[in-house]
Amino acid sequence: MASRPSRSGGLVERIVSNATLNERPAPTYEDVQRSAAFTDLKRRLRRFVFPMSAGFLLWYLAYVVLASYAPGFMATRVAGSHITVGLLLGLGQFVTTFVITQIYVRYAERTLDPRARDIRRHVEKARR
């Protein structure tokens, strides 16, 4: 890489400051891969996907652990009804799955998509 991108620069400037993208008429995949913007995009995706998956897998497993080792707690009635804590937590698993998907979609639309668009716009401009 010819020059390190300045930390304060905006997204597009950071790619522009990456000399390899500017010197050639048409950027190659390697150029994009080395660009700070792409590295940043990949890191953001990975930073979301892996901790989130680990988190919700843990939450599922935690339910099972509670059910095995704290059956008394799981059998507790909620507000004197037929519904137990275990049942509520079980149904809560559906809700979490749905909520996480929604968080992911929002994250992708707000954080990942604009960055991907910037990279694409820049690459297309450089090709012209």
Partner 1 sequence: MNAAALAAVAAIVLVAVASALVGAYGVRRRSTSDFLVASRTSGTAAHAGAISGEYLSAASFLGIAGLVLKDGVDALWYPVGFTAGYLALLLFIAAPLRRSGAYTPSDFAEARLGSAQVRRVCTVFVLVVGWLYVLPQLQGAGLTIATVTGLPQWVGVVAAGVVIAVTVAFGGLRAITLVQAFQYWLKLTALAIPAVIALMFFLGNDKTFDRPAPPSFSQATTVDVTTDVVLRTDGPLSLRAVGEVDGTAVDGPVTWQAGTHTVESGTRLDFDAGAPVPVVEGAPVQDAGWLTPFADGNSHGLLAVYSLILATFLGTMGLPHVLGRFYTNPDGRAARRSAVVALGMLGAFYLLVTLLGALSRLYTPQLLVSGETDAAVLLLPTAVLGNGWAGTILGGVVAAGAWSAFLSTSSGLLSSVAGVLSTDVLRGRLRDVRITTLLAGSVPILLALLVTRLDFTESVALVFAVAASTFCPLLVLGVWWRGLTARGATWGMLAGGIAALGAVSASLAGAASTGLLGTLLHRPAVVSVPLAFLTMILVSRGTRRERPADADQLLLRLHAPERLGLSADTAEDGPARFRD
Chain residues in the site for partner 1 (CB under 8 A):
26-30, 32-33, 38, 41-42, 45, 49, 52-53, 56-57, 60-61, 64-65, 67-68, 71, 74-75, 82, 84, 86-87, 90-91, 93-95, 97-98, 100-102, 104-105, 108-109, 113, 116-117, 119-120, 123-124, 127
- The nearer residue to partner 1, 8 or 82, going by C-beta atoms, is 82
- Distance in angstroms (rounded) separating the CA atoms of residues 51 and 108: 15
Q: Tell me how far, at minimum, the Cβ of 2 lies from partner 1, in Å.
A: 19
Q: Which residue reads 């400051």 in tokens?
A: 17
Contacts of 122 (CB under 8 A, 6+ apart): 12, 15, 16, 21, 37
What are the backbone angles phi and psi of residue 84, rounded to the nearest 5°?
Answer: -100, 160
